[in-house]
Amino acid sequence: MSKKSSHTRDLFVSKFGVIAAAAGSAVGLGNIWKFPYITGIYGGGAFLFVYLGFIVLIGLPVMLSEFAIGRRSRSNAFGAFKKLAPGSSWKYVGMLGVAAAFMILAFYGVVAGWSIDYIVKALSNSFASKTPGELESLFINFTELPLIPVLYQLFFMVLTMAIVIVGVKDGIEKYAKFLMPLLVVIIIVLGIRAITLNGASEGLKFLFYPDFSKLTAEGVLSALGHAFFSLSLGMGTLITYGSYINDKNNLSKTAVQVTLADTVIAILAGIAIFPAVFAFGIEPGKGPGLVFITLPNVFQQMPGGYFFSILFFLLLTVAALTSSISILEVVVAYFKEELKIKRKTATIISTVLISIVGVFCSLSMGILGDYKLFDLNFFDLLDWISANMLLPLGGLFISLFVGWYLGKDLVQNELSKGSLVIKSLLNVFIFLVRFIAPAAIAIVFLNGIGLLRFG
């Protein structure tokens, strides 16, 4: 799916390849693990409503901006700013992205490790005839262990490293192309089983009925942070992928398709989880264990549940892998191009450093759980800082860069490659990246951390 162009940069050949790679990055633990658990914490429907608003008004324009910056500069996230804005400070936006990537991958690997352990648990039929309470203990007792979760996490990091060394584009995308649709099918099957459980309607009501009285300033900030996290925005992942996109490709259409796929999959995951949460009497605000505790209950209650559970955690791990490689790639590209280290060495060094930080994330679920800052353990702290601070900040700068620095003519020129640009839509886009996205991000952020208070 990639070919060398005459100037030796890789390019995606097929339009589907572009979408598969970008969607592979976007769809991951964010959709299936994080979206349901934070929706549960922040009260359901109203959170979903605000999240969807941010996806359309901020996520989509920032994604298009990242693609445009990447294709225009044909270089990695850091180099892109150096090339398009030589001698300026914009390159530090790239640096911010490297820091975010580092933190995200540290805890991402922990959760992916849980998913691998759950493949093993599924294989050994460990969910059978357990009560919801026992399934909860199963999760908690496991994640509190000092050694086993760390080993699975390191195993996942090695897999990620191996793929990034061998080359992201040639191998994994081929598999992602049919494994991801399969994951979607399984989530739909799970959803059907979940909504036919006794008491399921409460869960659908929780997810879709917006009760705005439950919404807090922190909830709104988390919705914004998660819009960035789930779409892989704000740290240059999609700048890098954009740099591989062919000039014949229609960037706007690609951005809409990726955004749509990512959002639909998150909602499907919600439909599979919340009806079951209520049917089994689980607390929706349970936190990071929500998916791992809830779904085994559903597997028990369905024909072929044994096979579905194996397949589900296997595909979840693959989905995590197609995302984790896109996160590591940002760090590697920086090490390689800015510090002039060979690709293989850069990949190994960054994986080792990230894994060390990741081990502390894993341990903070158990033996290091008492060390807290702002009432968050290390795992939650890295998640919070990266998703709710660094990504929105990155998104703010990216939208300002496209709206004000690059400007309308250049953007029009870039977007009109491979497609007809509709004037009115272009104007809407420019308006969004110039004013709406930066203002909304600034307000939501200041409000969320309590520096500004609305209501």
Residues lying near ligand TRP in the complex (CB under 6 A)? 25-26, 28-31, 104, 229-230, 232, 235, 237, 323, 326-327, 391
CB of 48 to ligand TRP, least distance (A): 16
The answer to whether residues 296 and 127 touch, using CB atoms and an 8 Å cutoff, is: yes
CB of 385 to ligand TRP, least distance (A): 13
Cα(19)–Cα(82) distance, integer angstroms: 27
Nearest CB to ligand TRP, comparing residues 225 and 403: 225
Residue nearest to ligand TRP (CB): 30
Burial degree of 145 (CB within 10 A; 0-12, 13-18, 19+):
middle
CB of 258 to ligand TRP, least distance (A): 10
Nearer to ligand TRP, 54 or 278 (CB): 54
Cβ–Cβ under 8 Å, residues 225 and 392? yes
Backbone angles phi, psi at 451, to 5 degrees: -80, -25
* For ligand TRP, the closer CB: 99 or 302: 99
CB of 66 to ligand TRP, least distance (A): 10
- C-beta closer to ligand TRP: residue 122 or 331: 331
Kindly tell me which of 300 and 347 has the beta carbon lying closer to ligand TRP.
347
Residue 280 CB, shortest distance to ligand TRP, in Å, is: 25
Q: Closer CB to ligand TRP, residue 112 or residue 279?
A: 112
C-beta of 247: minimal distance to ligand TRP in Å? 24
Q: Where are the beta strands (DSSP E) in 25-136?
A: none
CB burial of residue 154 (10 Å; 0-12, 13-18, 19+): middle
We find the least distance from the C-beta atom of residue 330 to ligand TRP, in angstroms, to be: 7
| Phi-psi domain of 165 (left: phi exceeds 0; alpha: psi -120 through 50; beta: other) | alpha
Contact between 165 and 343 (Cβ < 8 Å): yes
Which residue's CB is nearer to ligand TRP, number 207 or number 391? 391
